[in-house]
Chains A and B, each alone.
Chain A
Amino acid sequence: MPSLKLSERSPERDRRGAEPLLIVRGLTVRFPVGRAGFWGNRRLFVHAVDDVSFEIFRGETLGLVGETGSGKTTTGRAILRRVPIAAGTITFKGNDITHVDGDNLRHLRRDMQLVFQDPYASLNPRMKVLDLVGEPLVVHGVVRRIREARDRVRELLELVGLPADAVDRYPHAFSGGQRQRIGIARALALEPDFIVCDEPVSALDVSIRAQVVNLLQNLQDRLGLTYLFIAHDLSVVRHISHRIAVMYAGKVVEIADRDEIYENPKHPYTQALLSAVPIPDPALQRTRRRQILRGEIPNPVDPPPGCRFHTRCPIAEDRCRTDPPPLEPKRPEHLAACWLT
């Protein structure tokens, strides 16, 4: 049997000059949602993700923020090859994985894992923790039978801060934060390099959320993990991310280092988003300039032409209504898609 010891990798986040772990170029995902037109001859699509590009370096956390329906989850699922990709390429560790299938896809799945938002819905209530956490080991043939995974599962549970004797219990015996730890242990079972964390702490209470955020950071340091961290809570994203990408209506509108984006937001949407986040400090809140956006997110079936944000943008001009702005450098290592900044 192969050694199941967790390898402790260097916590270095080697960025500049290094080859990114993941490169996404022009990623486009559409979901068919029916037909329109007199004969039903026009097919309708949700333009969930449209021409999205970014990269993630080894050992770093890229935060992906944006409002409901902006395409965050779909981006994460496309990278994990769980939704059909209409256009674009995904390169992981130097290999084009956009269309891999069969054994290669199976192999890829070991290296890329997913942690979900809802610790209640994502764990099968009839499975013991041993089965929940050990299942990927059986599926991927690391062990032949689940009981051979027992030691490894205990090790994983300890790693995520659960008692080793949790192996024989069912998920209902655990609190929300503990269930999220079980989900993380499961994601770590195959020693992945890359984890998509999709709103992993959104369902948790403040004090428990802090525990899980700390755990994710500690695991990254110890194991050299790379995260795509999806969340709508900008305070959490600022705390955990090294770089941040902001999505709006299927597009990445801005991407930069986390301090840079918070101190020098270039896109009017990012600016509005940041100013809308409440800060637990009444004195500061009174003096803060808040920019309230009018209106709602556009219909993804029929997104507005030009810049998708122009319908809510306080500074939009004619050009914004017709020509989509490219995502381009505005400052060093700081990209934004806006004609006017």
Chain B
Amino acid sequence: MSGEVTPAWKHLLEVEHLEVRFFTRRGEAQAVRDVSFTIDRGETLGLVGESGSGKSVTSLAVLGLIQLPGKITGGDVRWKGRSLLGQGGERYARSIRGKELAVVFQDPMTSLNPLFPIGTQIGEVLRYHMGMSKSQARTRTLELLDLVGISNPAQRIHQYPHEFSGGMRQRMLIAMALACEPELLIADEPTTALDVTIQAQILELLAELQERLEVAVLLISHDLGVVAQVCHRIAVMYAGKIVESGPAEEVFPRPGHPYTMGLMRSTPRLDLIQARLVGIDGAPPDLVRPPAGCPFHPRCPLAVEECLEEMPPLEAHGGGREVACWRAFTEAVGAEPGAGSTRG
């Protein structure tokens, strides 16, 4: 964690041509296909997409937690330039997981042990990973709970997970994830189960921690608004692929991929009155038998013959933007002009 020597690596996390398959009775589900992205120190990347698009599987692959019937079938994941895959990689992955690389899942109840008081659980992490003594761990636990905005931490450490509300449990998990001063925090739908005022508290907390501790964040969400609020860059997934990525401030006002455009037009906005939403026809494809060519073509209003035959590569469009579409930045005919764009 020192900045004295220039590191031999360029990106904190590099995911390159990642492929994950699930070997099911119905056949091989191609859950993640040729996914590449990077995360730098202190940066927040938002991974958005609808249910089943491969967001969680991507994050599990990064954490080295893919289990049978799933398998990483191709590509590489590198942490500070060193691979986390393969034989040597797995040991390396174990040594950084929960320390340099921490995770917060959607459902706090399944991630906390119901049988132990909250203080014991956080203390355990500190003693195991950071080699702290009992009293050091206790002091640090109190600091951490205070950091995530839990009042009266000295009393709270004796309470059990079920004695807390959903929002407080999510704070506990964040405290636990931060215990070892991670450099990257993976948060998979951290606010999806929460009410909007509690969600606002947690998002504020994440942004604040990020600024203070300079931790990088991979935020997974299906909510475009949540991602717009906290992320520097976004990557949009569809049917196991990243179809568009770029700086949030560029992608939201001017999406380049017809799927991103469709998502924006499907999302009602608090600040705009839309007579009718322009949805996306149809439903996402079966990943056991994904369509040939571009996976979005069966639902795409812009599809031409080329799209049925060949998968468009992610191509650079300047300013750090990438779009995987033969007809990137084309407005659909018949769509309301500017319906998905903002006036911010």
Within 8 A of B (CB), among A269-294: 272-285, 287, 290, 292-294
A77 to B167, CA, bound (A): 27
Interface string of B221-233 (1 = CB under 8 A from A): 0111111110100
- Determine whether the beta carbon of B252 is less than 8 Å from that of A282: yes
Q: Which residues of A contact B270 (CB under 8 A)?
A: 234-235, 238, 262, 274, 277, 279
How many residues of B are counted as interface, with CB atoms below 8 angstroms from the partner's CB atoms?
49
Within 8 A of A (CB), among B163-182: 165, 167-168
Interface membership of A164, Cβ < 8 A: no
Number of A-B contacts (CB under 8 A): 138
Given A210-B266, A276-B199; A282-B224 close (CB under 8 Å):
no
Q: Which of B30-38, B61-69, B117-125, B278-286 faces chain A?
A: B278-286
- Determine whether the beta carbon of B249 is less than 8 Å from that of A283: yes
- Determine whether the beta carbon of B264 is less than 8 Å from that of A280: yes
Q: Which residues of A contact B212 (CB under 8 A)?
A: none
- Determine whether the beta carbon of B197 is less than 8 Å from that of A67: yes
A278 to B253, CA, bound (A): 15
Look across to chain B and name the residue whose beta carbon is closest to the beta carbon of A283: B344
Interface string of B177-204 (1 = CB under 8 A from A): 0000000000000000001111111011
Look across to chain A and name the residue whose beta carbon is closest to the beta carbon of B149: A294
Interface membership of A206, Cβ < 8 A: yes
Distance of B16 from chain A, by nearest CB (Å): 27
A210 to B263, CA, bound (A): 9
- Determine whether the beta carbon of A238 is less than 8 Å from that of B252: no
Q: Which residues of B contact A217 (CB under 8 A)?
A: 276
Given A207-B263, A239-B268; A280-B200 close (CB under 8 Å):
no
Q: Which residues of A contact B167 (CB under 8 A)?
A: 296
A68 to B203, CA, bound (A): 19
- Determine whether the beta carbon of A296 is less than 8 Å from that of B196: no
B283's contact among A177, A210, A287, A293, by CB below 8 Å, is which?
A177
Q: Which residues of A contact B266 (CB under 8 A)?
A: 206-207, 209-210
Q: Which residues of A contact B267 (CB under 8 A)?
A: 206, 210, 235, 280
Look across to chain A and name the residue whose beta carbon is closest to the beta carbon of B194: A68
Interface string of A281-312 (1 = CB under 8 A from B): 11111010010111011000000000000000
- Determine whether the beta carbon of B279 is less than 8 Å from that of A207: yes
Within 8 A of A (CB), among B222-269: 222-229, 231, 248-249, 252-253, 262-269
B273's contact among A234, A259, A281, by CB below 8 Å, is which?
A259
Distance of A155 from chain B, by nearest CB (Å): 22
Look across to chain B and name the residue whose beta carbon is closest to the beta carbon of A239: B268
Most buried by B among A68, A276, A297: A276
Q: Which residues of B contact A276 (CB under 8 A)?
A: 196-197, 199-200
Interface membership of A208, Cβ < 8 A: yes
Within 8 A of A (CB), among B4-31: none
Most buried by B among A67, A205, A281, A283: A281
A279's contact among B196, B249, B269, B283, by CB below 8 Å, is which?
B269
Look across to chain A and name the residue whose beta carbon is closest to the beta carbon of B281: A211
Look across to chain A and name the residue whose beta carbon is closest to the beta carbon of B201: A292
A208's contact among B224, B227, B279, by CB below 8 Å, is which?
B279
Interface membership of B274, Cβ < 8 A: yes
Interface string of A243-277 (1 = CB under 8 A from B): 00000000000000001001000000000111111
A282 to B247, CA, bound (A): 10
Interface membership of B139, Cβ < 8 A: no
Interface membership of A236, Cβ < 8 A: yes
User: Mind listing 10 A-B residue pairs with CB under 8 Å?
Assistant: A177-B283, A206-B263, A209-B279, A210-B280, A239-B277, A278-B199, A279-B270, A280-B264, A282-B249, A293-B201
Listed in ascending order, the chain A residues whose CB lies under 8 Å from chain B are: 67-68, 175, 177-178, 205-211, 213-214, 217, 232, 234-236, 238-240, 259, 262, 272-285, 287, 290, 292-294, 296-297
Known A-B contacts: A235-B225, A238-B273. Give 10 more (CB < 8 A): A177-B283, A205-B222, A206-B266, A207-B263, A207-B266, A214-B277, A235-B270, A281-B253, A285-B229, A292-B204
- The 6 residue pairs across chains A and B that have the minimum distance between CB atoms: A278-B225, A210-B279, A284-B344, A239-B268, A210-B266, A280-B224
